[in-house]
Amino acid sequence: MEEKTLFNWQRKALSESAGRNSYGLFSDPGTGKTYCALRIAQNWTDNALVVCPLSVKEQWVKEANIVGIPTEVYHYEQLRNKRYFDVIVNKLRGNRTTLILDESHRIKSPSTATTKAALKIAPLAPARLALTGTPTANSPADLYTQLKFLQPERKLETYRDFQSEYVEELPASHPLRKKIPGRPFLAMKRKDGSLVTKNIDKLKQRVLEYGITVKLDEVVELPERTFLTRMCSADTELMKSYKELQKNYVAKFKSKELTAQNAAVLAGRLTRLTSGYGHAEWDVSFPNPKLKELIDDIGTFVAAGKCIVWSVWVSERNDAMDALSERGFRVTLDPDEFIKGDYQILLGSPKMYGTGLNLQLAKYQLWLSRSWSLLEREQALARNYRAGQTQKTVVVDYLTEGTIDARVLNALENKTDLLNEIMTTGAL
């Protein structure tokens, strides 16, 4: 085994987990939870079996070789596949194996195939570890199935009761209870989109019964990080189409046609339109106001350091590649080329490149668009803001003025506030 110098939190986790058969490492990206998990597994059992995102499979193999514990690594798509699921079951049954669930927030919903598969294999393992930096990606209720995975033998309240304990729900008289069929227990939200939560101190203590919470700034001292927003004006035709689509949304709400599914579709179309892109039914596009502003700014940024440009839309990344290349900037879509070559800008998707990459060489993160997913946001932000970063970093969010863009960003920030509240327990 190749020894590494342990952080204080890792030593605490190794000590606390001794004599137990389950433990949660609720730790920010870049804090070293992969290595810590394998060390705990080595103390518990003869070998380990890991289920993780495909993007970090090689990282787990590498770390397991460093620790020196025999480890098999599967990804979540395989967990949902019957053939591979049966293989995993056979590997666990009757063996001294620690089952490690990486990015355990992926089982936050009790109804998904991934969650059901994870909870089926949990009792087969004599020991279990759950790892994530975002245990409450959307809501305190996200923790429920993660706790069930860690201790399947422990009887918990129902999911419904767990949710009611920590999230305020809409009163029965609220119009949304009738407007959105199939969603009778909708969470109460403030005007800014944040959940109205309760009993969070109680939830903090409950989390600590299962494991440890660690924030990055408790582990390493990092240079200052600045967050900026850049408001961008759209042309008249784009805003006209945007308002027409918005009216359609409101009309559906006033009728009884609105469902959770078509509400998500309409919100997605509005979000896409902020970058100038219509959808298949329209076959139209408009000048992207955010890309225009980014092009105006980028020369100043690259003169000071390397940049990551994030976009959730393939069309937007392609347009950005063309526009930046035409202006003589050295741009790549390949993270390895960005790390090893003489490139100024990496164009990436937060969903594709948000895990498993160390990009400390980048000074700037420039966000052309973003999804509603806190997980994607947090993971992508951690690519360059992690141990080993020596320069001050800047995050710039480009927002189309008068659109849903600002609401999406506010919702993400509020989810982050909730996450920070739960993760900051003073455990160290």
Say if residue 187 is in the same domain as residue 232.
Answer: no
Q: 146 and 260: one domain? A: no
Q: Which stretch of 248-252, 276-280, 368-372 has the lowest confidence by average pLDDT?
A: 248-252
Q: CA–CA separation, 261 vs 273, rounded Å? A: 19
* Highest mean predicted confidence (pLDDT) among 304-313, 349-358, 366-375, 376-385: 304-313
Q: Is residue 161 part of a domain?
A: yes
| Confidence band for 253, pLDDT divided at 50, 70 and 90 | low
Query: What span, in angstroms and rounded, lies between the C-alpha atoms of 153 and 127?
Result: 12
**252 and 177 part of one domain:** no
Q: Is residue 3 in a domain?
A: no
Whether residues 45 and 116 share a domain: the answer is yes
Residue 397's domain is classified under what CATH number?
Answer: 3.40.50.300
**25 and 74, same domain (yes or no):** yes
Residue 219 lies in a domain: no
The CATH number of the domain holding residue 93 is 3.40.50.10810
Let me know whether 26 and 125 are in one domain: yes
- The predicted pLDDT at position 181 comes to 61
**Residues 279 and 404 grouped into a single domain:** yes
**pLDDT for res 372:** 87
The percentage of the chain sitting over the pLDDT mark of 70, rounded to a whole number, equals 90
Mean pLDDT (the chain, rounded): 89
For residue 156, what are the domain limits?
A: 8-214
In a domain, 272, yes or no: yes
Instruction: Record the pTM.
Output: 0.80
Spatial distance between the Cα atoms of 220 and 390, rounded to a whole number of angstroms: 11
Q: Are residues 265 and 325 in the same domain?
A: yes
CB atoms within 10 A of CB 316: 23
Query: What was the pLDDT predicted at 93?
Result: 93
Is 262 or 242 the better-scoring residue by pLDDT?
242
- Quick check: is 313 in a domain? yes
Residue-wise pLDDT tens digits, 366-402: 999 999 888 889 889 999 998 889 999 999 999 999 9
Tell whether 160 and 240 lie within a shared domain. Answer: no
Q: Give me the number of domains the chain comprises.
A: 2
Let me know whether 134 and 282 are in one domain.
Answer: no
pLDDT in tens, 112-150: 999 999 999 999 999 999 999 989 888 899 999 999 999
- Report the C-alpha gap between 355 and 54 in whole angstroms: 10
Across 246-261, average pLDDT: 66
